Structure 1
């Protein structure tokens, strides 16, 4: 299948294109970038025959069967809209749109696109090998009751993607990942509460609580105060079995002493598994599996496993967070 790429930036070249190159039956045929020199450099690096500085030419051409776009939310939305209108399947990096109204327009185009047209939003973490093993291992131990997620990074410390505040930029970046994962596991929340702590003039911590009428709970901690990306998931079932995934590399499962075991915890109270960081990077992070899922859907006419329509509740939660905490750093609008 012939692919085109719009936005050959650092993320695309460090994560998406290496994952795509390992996908059987996939071939990158064309690259588009804002600057012709960037498109040419990416084409040379990846052995791509065609490149351009006009992304509309790429979308409108007949030289590709599917498209990957990895740009700003505004670019992602513009490219996705044009692709869906033409019946071209598109993998768009998150965030797929700058705001909820723009997302709603994309969802309408997704619903009216020609049969077989696939839209896929690149939320990679649920597709990673460690996270999938965490969920598979917990499944015999009952229903999830609690989810606690910590996702902090060194950025953004300035506004990005045409956002008006650092908080909005943080929510567009890390927040979309965290809320998407919580909703995949527990569904749309019945209530959302948000609080922030100002660390210094450019750094903040954001605590989001998503609660449910039946007592389930998701708590999300986001921040831009770390010196690297740090991720930690803790999931608890209604049999008090706890699964913890730290940095996509260490999985720990435990159950209370004296309770009956099941699955991998049969006759064990604690189980630990480590993934060496030097092996299977794109499998651990989910980039390979998410592209494989998109590729499979396009080839077989199967539904997208990460459609645009699934993002609507993510944007609703983030809009509510912004309504409650607004501008904790006091930035000029």
Structure 2
């Protein structure tokens, strides 16, 4: 069983998200109200009823079963900001959490000379990953059984690049990894349209197009934040599987089943996709930020069913 029909309670909840207060903002800045409202995206949600779960409960008087609906939907886990000036995250409420320090003070682009022309090529950007504030709404609805528990904690910083200078600015130790040294390994893009390499997962990327460079860096952050034991200073986003709850695998570039991106700045999008973006393959004029600052929401797929007994004996 697989349907896109959405329960009324889910519609009501997302209507509340749409009506969230959105205060006027300065140019090229993002606020929490807008980020919460952006989660009311049916394309990104991709809500489906997948089947049923059968639960068994035993008492001194005998055993009985109960059923619950199994659902699948994507959920906004992280807000990933990729930005030019150290200490100036475009999500203003997060900016004070990542100030410049003695090991992380500057940002910007380098230039190289090719064929007598000057090109902006080597780019450096800061990056932060924070729990999506709309995750709180999914937690609220999960008690009814129509959505899954949020995998991320709303507003929790999972990664702030200013505190990871050795890996983020020096590329230590990942510059020596095989994935960083062997051409064709772990690339963001498709044949004929490669935007950059996942490794080393640092703030430097060789890419003439600023939007593509920022997208590669966002992909790098999601790659290690959704894994444990990586050589970075971060808090892993690693929700654990349990009976009736199936969280996603770690993010993998180009794989929609592990995560999709919703652009929040510049020019907020109401849809989700993997990089390279389908909607901007031909032209980048509308998505390239003049100030070099970008914000995306990372959506990942979850499956779950409401617990209705002691032991899950079957799910479809």
TM-score by length of 1: 0.22
Higher relative contact order (CA 8 A, sep 6+): 2
TM-score by length of 2: 0.23
Structure whose residues are more often helix by fraction = 1
